[in-house]
Structure 1
Amino acid sequence: MGENTVSDGVPRIDDEAVQWSAPPEERAGRPLLVLLHGYGSHEGDLFALAPHLPKEFVVAAVRAPLTPPFPAPGWSWFPIEGLQARDARAITASATVLLDWLDRSVDPATPVGLLGFSQGAVIGLQALRLRPERIGFVVALAGFVADGTLPTDAALAARRPPVFWGRGSRDEVIPADRIAHSTEWLPGFVDLSGRVYPGLTHSVSQDELDDVVVFLRARLAESAR
């Protein structure tokens, strides 16, 4: 393993590419919401949502560590082609890289939530499984839960952190078997809420964003108790 890699040869998160909604001097004492983009995208994509999210959160959008095969643009969290396509080991490796960035960049006392779209949602859920004591909640949009079991799944089931899972009824990108697996798996391990949005494809609608904001405000209310 090289000094610039963390897990299974996956490069570290590029600190210089992270987009923050607040400078360092304005982050202390505030909860952090980390945005995780999808396949072939970049850190600026979901960061466009920041102005629409509760202002109490510091928002950080990170860039996935891998590049998809030419001619696909942008960045990716794990391969979707070849023998490694949607491989649980590859998903765990990139989730470990994300957690390494979190350990290096964020005060351990800072409450952290993850919001991911598509591949980013998969990574967010896997990071939650790996470190249920560190990740307070996950918003998973148009994603799924990786296959397999992890040694930390029992701790996750004991904590049952809040997860919002949103997806479109006409999303033809996420395979039906991934949806079926997630539908069966999530209720046993997390406090699950969410919605299937009629007519929505592999994207985010205004109705979904409105529901995400309600979910995030509920997390803020819980932390204020």
Structure 2
Amino acid sequence: MEKPLEYLVRKPKVSVENPPLLLLLHGVGSNEEDLFSLTNYLPESLLIVSVRGPLTLGKKSFGWYEVLFTTGQPKINLEQERESQKLLLQFLDYLKLNYNFDESNVWIGGFSQGAIMSYSIGLLHPEKVKGIIALSGRLLEENKAQVTVSEKVLSKKVFISHGTNDRVLSVDYARSVKGYLESIGVHPHYQEYEEGHSINREMLKDLIQWLEVQLGNQS
């Protein structure tokens, strides 16, 4: 099977036969090296794969779909977003052929557009992942309409963090996802920070603690 997407990998730092897998998805205009810089801090038992978006926007600049602001409101290219979902599912199959990991213990997370894609995969293909990490993201209304509330959706572990001073994606988006998830019976770990559109040390510390608890609960 051909490699569907470019990526960087950090193997577990401890000996684990079937490690949990964490997929990291960068924001628009960035690349796989961005979130890969966080891997030194994340739990040692994880197999971590940082994935590059399929759309080339410039030198070392990639995305998962295009966003147009011609009307003053962000209008996304839904076809490209759907295609990126497909590629990520193919990529998971590719990883299964090339790495050992626990297929029932897959986590997906990202920043900004990467968080948006993480919601798409986690909620529209809930059988594929155990948990979702959304850093400064939102759930697309077009995808919310497609969610089927099932046991697999209701069992999702979800971590949401967002800056109250975010001028790119307002914190209202995060509050809206929290409200929606709670309305269907999913109770995310939710935290706001005095921060803009970025990941600060406090967010990272809280994410690490949350992940350690989640992974520890499974032993």
Q: Normalization by structure 1: what TM-score? A: 0.81
Q: What is the correspondence of 1:119-138 to structure 2 with a 5 Å cutoff?
A: 119-138=113-132
Quick check: 1:130–1:150 contact (8 Å CA) kept in 2?
Answer: no
Match of 1:7 in 2: none
Closer, same or farther: CA 73–47 of 1 in aligned 2, 3 Å: closer
Quick check: 1:13–1:64 contact (8 Å CA) kept in 2?
Answer: no
Question: Do residues 191 (structure 1) and 182 (structure 2) align?
Answer: no
For 1:187 and 1:87, how far apart are their aligned partners in 2?
28
Match of 2:67 in 1: 80
Q: What is the correspondence of 1:100-115 to structure 2 with a 5 Å cutoff?
A: 100-106=90-96, 109-110=102-103, 111-115=105-109
Any idea what the Cα deviations from partners look like across 1:28-47, whole Å, max 9, x if unmatched?
41001111000000001100
**Secondary structure of the corresponding residue to residue 217 of structure 2:** helix
Deviation for aligned residue 1:157: 6.9
Match of 2:141 in 1: 147
Closer, same or farther: CA 136–18 of 1 in aligned 2, 3 Å: same
Match of 2:4 in 1: 13
Identity %: 27
For 1:177 and 1:92, how far apart are their aligned partners in 2?
24
Quick check: 2:18–2:101 contact (8 Å CA) kept in 1?
Answer: no
Specify the code of the residue in structure 2 equivalent to 1:187.
Answer: E
Quick check: 1:132–1:159 contact (8 Å CA) kept in 2?
Answer: no
Deviation for aligned residue 1:217: 0.7
Match of 1:222 in 2: 217
Aligned-CA RMSD value: 2.7
Quick check: 2:162–2:174 contact (8 Å CA) kept in 1?
Answer: no
For 1:208 and 1:27, how far apart are their aligned partners in 2?
27
For 2:122 and 2:39, how far apart are their aligned partners in 1?
22
Quick check: 1:141–1:166 contact (8 Å CA) kept in 2?
Answer: yes
Q: Please, which runs of 5 or more residues in structure 2 have no aligned partner?
A: none
Quick check: 2:123–2:153 contact (8 Å CA) kept in 1?
Answer: no
Specify the code of the residue in structure 1 equivalent to 2:23.
Answer: V
**Secondary structure of the corresponding residue to residue 218 of structure 2:** helix
Quick check: 1:20–1:60 contact (8 Å CA) kept in 2?
Answer: yes
Q: Which moved more, 1:179-188 or 1:118-127?
A: 179-188
Deviation for aligned residue 1:155: 2.1
Q: What is the correspondence of 1:3-82 to structure 2 with a 5 Å cutoff?
A: 13-14=4-5, 17-22=6-11, 28-68=17-57, 74-81=61-68
**Secondary structure of the corresponding residue to residue 103 of structure 1:** helix
Number of residue pairs aligned between Structure 1 and Structure 2: 208
Closer, same or farther: CA 147–156 of 1 in aligned 2, 3 Å: farther
Match of 1:202 in 2: 197
For 2:175 and 2:19, how far apart are their aligned partners in 1?
36
For 2:165 and 2:20, how far apart are their aligned partners in 1?
34
For 2:201 and 2:173, how far apart are their aligned partners in 1?
25
Closer, same or farther: CA 142–51 of 1 in aligned 2, 3 Å: same
Specify the code of the residue in structure 1 equivalent to 2:202.
Answer: D
For 1:75 and 1:88, how far apart are their aligned partners in 2?
17
